[in-house]
A = this chain, B = another copy of it.
């Protein structure tokens, strides 16, 4: 089982792990191996800036970051939360369209942009993996549009918590919980507000309101306990069945 050996040998890098190991020939694996480099950044690092050149295509191995755009007068909107297996940059674009800031210590698996473009062209499995990842990000961005465009502040916060739980479960490879969960938010109230198109005050008030109604528990230090996950899901206004669509 050659594929398995490879899988375990490169589990840190989502690109290599998911796109290449299982499906690719040895040659491309070797090229990929030579091309990639790991790099770790402390929390708070600006990993990319809007309008600035972006020399690498990078994939998240560990840690989390926000991807955001700032308007002229300082209003900021976060358009995506980047976590394990998400990526920064895109083939064919030399300039970042967004600011990317590390929320925690972040480890990236990086490829020099030109090299990666060649790899995508030459290696069908990498292109296929890129396509799947991009389609998933597209779904996430559209979900966010629904939240931003049509939900109330309360629903936004509930939807955010629900999506965080689902996201963290996905990364852990665990099942999405049906009843009780406890986890730690990687974002400050400020950063949550920027993600939900709210102010920090409104965000804080909604957390408090949900707590007072027993939908969540806030033991302190950005921890959240959700006693009944299903019930919280109902607060988002979505007529969602809860299951993935694939």
Contacts and interface: CB of A to CB of B under 8 A. Distances in A.
B145 A92 contact: no
B135 A90 contact: yes
Interface in A90-123: 90-93, 95, 97-98, 120-121
Interface string A182-197: 0000000000000011
Contacts of A9: none
B148 A97 contact: no
A77 B137 contact: no
A201 interface: no
Given A71-B237, A141-B142, A146-B69, A245 B95 contact: yes
A127 interface: yes
A128 B120 contact: yes
A26 to B, nearest CB: 19
Given A92-B132, A124-B127, A138-B137, A150 B76 contact: yes
Nearest to A138: B138
Contacts of A144: 141, 145
A90 B245 CA distance: 11
Nearest to A69: B146
A180 interface: no
Contact of A138 (B141, B148, B241): B141
A238 interface: yes
A143 to B, nearest CB: 8
A79 interface: yes
A27 interface: no
Given A131-B131, A142-B141, A149 B91 contact: no
A131 B123 CA distance: 13
A141 B90 CA distance: 15
Interface of A: 51, 67, 69-73, 75-77, 79-80, 90-93, 95, 97-98, 120-121, 124, 127-128, 130-132, 134-135, 137-139, 141-142, 144-146, 148-151, 196-197, 237-239, 241, 245-246
Given A71-B150, A92-B246, A120-B128, 12 more contacts: A71-B151, A72-B238, A75-B150, A75-B237, A77-B146, A77-B149, A120-B131, A121-B128, A127-B127, A127-B128, A138-B141, A148-B197
